[in-house]
Structures are given as C-alpha cells and as structure tokens.
C-alpha cells in the first residue's frame, strides 16, 4: 500500500469520526457564553414606521444651488463649518421667490398626534419644513417654540393622528460595547439602516452635552434620526460626526435621549428652554493641581471667576474654589457643572460643596435663569510701589495698593514683578497676582516670603494666580 493510500484512509477515518462526534461537541460561542451577532430585522420593522425624512425649504434662491452644490450635502457643509464650493455656476432652479430645497435631515415621532423630534440645526432658519412618513405621506410641519441650539434639539409638529411613536429608553442602562442601530436619510436616502456599537459614553466634544460616541455609520442627512438599542428603544439623537473627508470616518456622536427629552418637554409646554445658572467661569482640575492642593484626585470644577453680584458671588464662592458637589450630585469633571446647574429650576435654592485651601465647606446658592453672562471686569495691576521681594521659587513680588485691591475685588495678594527658573517653567508671568501659595491665602509681601521659605523645598508648590479677568492654579516644581 502506498503512502498516499494510507494517508487517504487516515483522512477518511478522521472525517467519519468528526461526523459521528459533531453532535456531541458544543458550539464555541455557547460554551464560552458568547452572544450571537444580532439580527436587526425585527427592530427595523418595529421602529422603522416611526422614523421620518425631513426636508427644509427657503424662499430665496439657495446658496448651494447657486454654486451647483448637491442640496443633500449642503446641510453637512453648513453644520460643520465647511465653506460651500464656489465658481461652478449650477443651473437656476426657478424664480427667486420660489421655495428651494435647503437641506435634508431625519427625525422620529414622539407621539401619535404628530410631535416629531429632530436636531435644531436641521430646521434652524428654514422657511418651510416638510416631513415625509415611511408610508410616503408628506406634511408641512410647524416648528414648536424656539429650537434649542445649545443642545441642538428641536421639536416640530405635523397635523396627523394615529402615528407610530417611538419608545424612549434609559441612557443609564446603555453600556459601552452594546449594539445600537440608526435609521435615517443619509444624503436623502430615506429609511437607511446602519448598525454598530457604543464606543464611549459621556464623550466631551466642547459642547453643552456629554455625547454618546458610536461607530454606527452616520452621514449628512442622518442628523436628527434615532439611535436605537436592541430593545427597540431610542437612546439618542444622531447629531454629529468626526470627519476630515466630509464623510463617515468611524466616529459619530449622539445626544443622550434623557437630555433631549428634558428639552423637548419644555419646548412643548412653554415654547422655550429655561436653564439655571450661578454665574461662574470654570476650568478643569488637572491631576497635578489636585495633588498639589490636597484634593487628591482630579474631580470637580475650578472656579476661575465669579460674576460680580451673581448667585455664586452672593453665596460666597471665591475664585480658586473647586466645586465638587451641587444639588446632591457629584461633579466628576468641569463639564458636569453647567449641565447639572442648567437642569435646576431658576429661583430654587440649593447647596453646593466647595474645596477651599485644604478643606470642604457647604454653601447655599439661589439659582438664577440662564442668560449671556457678562465677564468679570478686572484691570491689570501696575506696580504697587513697594520694592520687590525675590524668592528661590523664581518669583519677585511687590505689594498691591488698596486701590488696586478694590479694583480687583480681592482682600490680599501680591503682584509678580519678575519670573525666572521654576516659576517661569510653571507658566507664571509678570503682572500675575498671587492669591494663594501652598494652599495659604496671601495677604502681603511679608507673608508671601514666610510661606515661600517653608515651601522652598524639593516638592511641588501650588500657586493660585489672577491673570486679567480670571484665576488659575499653577504648580511650581523647584529644581532638586
């Protein structure tokens, strides 16, 4: 018998054994408790009838059409600040007073009587809003109240009844890695379905809200459409993408539905959104600063300035305070503060906790209604006149006059006249006003020197400085 024949017989026996034993071998996924890839067909059938296409029109000739730009792309250019291409001279679409298509977007039905949620940027500035249902019926829509640009949420109303409304989900139950699905009208292609996973929660993009980040394919026209979990519940509104090319690059952001519903409820009841404010300018707390001032970990929001006569000022909040709690809620990062304060009813009295010079204290504050906050005016100090005192920290300081302190609205502090060495590396500048050193409030040059002598060791020293209108913490690390 040849070697080949033996090999064939051995292979035949192996195949036979596998066939006989296969029913007894568990599936790998089942053995390890893995979940099979989801089938989205049922979700699409359930939620699809609640997702609408939104077209906006304007009376004047659309700028995009003058430039030969696809109206489905124009919404993207406008949303992400990309200049509209020029010089292509597209054909005129009609008389100047004839409504022209301005942009496309998506939305979803909140109630059977015709309330629809979408993004504020989808309907903002439109002369007409047209809503097309999945069954091809088209309605003119009325924008309810004033679209909230701060959260990018808007509510519109169509005259229809018996509509299929979505089910609202619980964002707190949403987990990173969870499957989610989007339905919308990318580039005007209605009822397009894409899916992916939650990439992150609480993603800060510099806007008012912490976003849900996903890898669901989102493109221009998807704006305002729902982000749906596997239970068929809406957990977010698809709102933004990160892109360098003008198209989807794997990162999309959705507004959490709990925040959006708070806005929608106000728009439906009063036509506008009312938010609370306490009148502070804030900054993040870095790990280095937290350790140097004894806070431990980088939590809370650092107060850089308080509006004169504002709620925080009246409550006794000082520049340099770290707000760690308000209304019983912990401030994990600085962006939490405006969101939580914004949700408190104006006129309500609440308690906030601040960390100040090594200890915690509770302060009572009456929340005011949000408005454009005026900047706290603080003049730059000139030299107070007394001779400078130089320390090994690399700082030369001098006294402030009483007039300068009154103008700055501070009790003490010293002016920085010269900076070198460790202080220069820490970012201090001539003209800064030192308010605290090593967690000690500074009253004058003599006291500054006394604190600096103790601090002139091989360790980090925190300094709270006033620069122009704001305060900030810096950390001086003397050379060892």
Q: pLDDT digit string (tens) for 161-176?
A: 999 999 999 999 999 9
Greatest C-alpha distance within the chain = 111
Q: What single DSSP character describes residue 442?
A: -
Distance CA 152, CA 123 (A): 10
Q: Which of 33-37, 172-176, 462-466 has the lowest mean pLDDT?
A: 33-37
- For the stretch 352-394, pLDDT in tens is 999 998 899 999 999 999 864 333 333 333 444 444 455 657 7
Distance CA 4, CA 252 (A): 57
- Cα distances from 220 to residues 69, 74, 217, 449, in angstroms, run 14, 9, 10, 60
- The residues annotated as belonging to the active site are 121, 152, 223
- Matching CATH number, 276-369, of 3.40.800.20, 3.10.20.30, 1.20.140.10, 2.30.42.10: 2.30.42.10
pLDDT at residue 444, as a whole number: 86
Could you give the residue range(s) of every CATH 2.30.42.60 domain in the chain? 389-476
Q: Could you give the percent of the chain with pLDDT greater than 90?
A: 40
The residues near 207 (Cβ < 8 Å, ≥ 6 apart) are 152
Could you give the residue range(s) of every CATH 2.30.42.10 domain in the chain? 276-369
pLDDT at residue 59, as a whole number: 74
- For the stretch 20-33, pLDDT in tens is 444 444 444 444 55
Helices (H), 174-318: 257-270, 287-292, 311-315
CATH of span 389-476: 2.30.42.60
Structural contact between residues 184 and 193, judged by C-beta atoms closer than 8 angstroms: no
**Chain mean pLDDT for the chain:** 80
User: Would you place residue 197 in the very low, low, confident or very high pLDDT band (cuts 50, 70, 90)?
Assistant: very high
3-state class (DSSP) for residue 306: strand
The residue assigned the tokens 């729902």 is 226
User: Would you place residue 3 in the very low, low, confident or very high pLDDT band (cuts 50, 70, 90)?
Assistant: very low
Could you give the residue range(s) of every CATH 2.40.10.120 domain in the chain? 40-273
CA dihedral 262, 268, 271, 277 (to 10 degrees): -10
Taking the model in full, what pTM does it have?
0.63
CATH of span 40-273: 2.40.10.120
Distance CA 203, CA 173 (A): 16
- For the stretch 294-320, pLDDT in tens is 998 999 999 988 888 899 999 999 989
User: Would you place residue 403 in the very low, low, confident or very high pLDDT band (cuts 50, 70, 90)?
Assistant: confident
pLDDT at residue 172, as a whole number: 92
What angle is formed at CA 428 by the lines to CA 427 and CA 432, rounded to 5 degrees?
Answer: 145
Q: Which of 178-182, 315-319, 423-427 has the lowest mean pLDDT?
A: 423-427
């Amino acid at each position: 018998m040849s070697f080949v024949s033996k090999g064939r017989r051995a292979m035949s026996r192996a195949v036979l054994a596998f066939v006989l034993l296969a029913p007894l071998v568990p599936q790998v996924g089942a053995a390890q408790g893995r979940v099979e890839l989801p089938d989205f067909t049922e979700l699409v059938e359930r939620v699809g009838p609640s997702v609408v296409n939104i077209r906006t029109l304007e009376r004047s000739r659309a700028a995009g059409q003058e430039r030969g730009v696809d109206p489905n792309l124009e919404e993207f250019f406008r949303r992400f600040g990309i200049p509209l291409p020029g010089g292509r001279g597209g054909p005129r679409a009609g008389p100047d007073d004839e409504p022209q298509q301005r942009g496309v977007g998506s939305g979803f039905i909140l109630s059977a009587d015709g309330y629809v949620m979408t993004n504020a940027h989808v309907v903002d500035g439109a002369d007409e809003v047209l809503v097309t249902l999945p069954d091809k019926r088209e309605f003119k829509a009325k924008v309810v109240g004033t679209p909230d640009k701060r959260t990018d949420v808007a509510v519109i109303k169509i005259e229809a009844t018996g509509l299929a409304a979505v089910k609202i989900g619980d964002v707190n139950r949403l987990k990173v890695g969870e499957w989610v699905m989007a339905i919308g009208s990318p580039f005007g292609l209605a009822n397009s379905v894409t899916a992916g996973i939650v990439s992150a929660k609480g993603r800060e993009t510099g806007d008012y809200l912490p976003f849900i980040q996903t890898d669901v394919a989102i493109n221009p026209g998807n704006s305002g459409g729902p982000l749906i979990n596997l239970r068929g519940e809406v957990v977010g509104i698809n709102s933004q993408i990160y892109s360098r090319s003008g198209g989807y690059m794997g990162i999309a952001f959705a507004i959490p539905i709990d925040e959006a519903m708070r806005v929608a409820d106000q728009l439906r009841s009063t036509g506008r959104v009312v938010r609370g404010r306490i009148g502070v300018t804030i900054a993040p707390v870095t790990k280095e600063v937290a350790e140097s001032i004894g806070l431990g970990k980088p939590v809370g929001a650092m107060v850089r300035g308080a509006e004169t006569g504002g709620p925080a000022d009246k409550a006794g909040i000082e520049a340099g305070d770290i707000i760690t709690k308000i209304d019983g809620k912990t401030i994990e990062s600085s962006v939490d503060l405006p969101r939580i304060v914004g949700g408190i009813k104006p006129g309500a009295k609440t308690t906030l906790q601040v960390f100040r010079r090594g200890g915690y204290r509770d302060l009572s504050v009456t929340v005011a209604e949000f408005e454009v906050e005026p900047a706290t005016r603080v003049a730059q100090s000139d030299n107070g006149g007394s001779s400078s005192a130089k320390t090994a920290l690399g700082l030369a300081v001098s006294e402030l006059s009483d007039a300068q302190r009154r103008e700055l609205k501070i009790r003490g502090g010293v002016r920085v006249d010269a900076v070198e060495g460790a202080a220069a590396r820490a970012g201090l500048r001539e003209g800064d006003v030192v308010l605290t050193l090593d967690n000690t409030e500074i009253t004058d040059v003599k006291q500054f020197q006394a604190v600096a002598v103790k601090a002139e060791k091989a360790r980090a020293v925190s300094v709270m400085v006033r620069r122009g209108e704001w305060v900030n913490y810096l950390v001086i690390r003397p050379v060892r």
